[in-house]
């Protein structure tokens, strides 16, 4: 089960995700919907995401490369950080471990 809550900070949409993101249970579709509803600046807090399969990673990439959006990652687990680095996605998705610094990086 995936839970996504949304917070707004100025013109930045912060998506706080919790749970697992997989194609098999439809949670990657939930993530896609959250991205569609967000503004052009998105901070995805993955601090409580336990697992993400390739479909979830694909949704992050689609969001980051679509419609002039800026997407940044906050608090990925060691597993997710390694996955993003191994797939070289850390080159197009900034990774942050401090929310205030991440918000400032959009300016």
- The residues, ordered by sequence, that sit 6+ positions from 5 with a Cβ below 8 Å of its Cβ are 15, 16
> CA 12 → CA 40, 75, 99, distances in Å?
8, 17, 12
Q: Which residues of the chain have pLDDT under 50?
A: none
Q: What is the DSSP letter of 75?
A: S
Overall size of the chain counted in residues: 107
pLDDT in tens, 4-34: 999 999 999 999 999 988 888 877 788 888 9
Distance between CA 35 and CA 28 in Å, rounded?
11
Domain ranges of the chain: 2-104
Q: pTM for this structure?
A: 0.90
* CATH fold for the domain made of 2-104: Transcription Regulator spoIIAA (3.30.750)
pLDDT score at 101 = 97
């Amino acid at each position: 089960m995936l839970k996504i809550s949304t917070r707004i900070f100025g013109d930045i949409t912060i998506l706080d995700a919790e749970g697992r993101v997989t194609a098999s249970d439809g949670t990657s579709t939930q993530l896609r919907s959250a991205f569609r509803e967000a503004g052009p600046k998105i901070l995805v807090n993955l601090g409580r995401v336990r697992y993400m399969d390739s479909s979830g990673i694909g949704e992050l990439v689609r969001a980051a490369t679509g419609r002039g959006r800026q997407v940044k990652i906050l608090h990925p687990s060691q597993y997710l950080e390694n996955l993003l680095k191994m797939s070289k996605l850390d080159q197009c998705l900034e990774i942050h471990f401090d929310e205030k610094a991440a918000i400032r990086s959009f300016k």
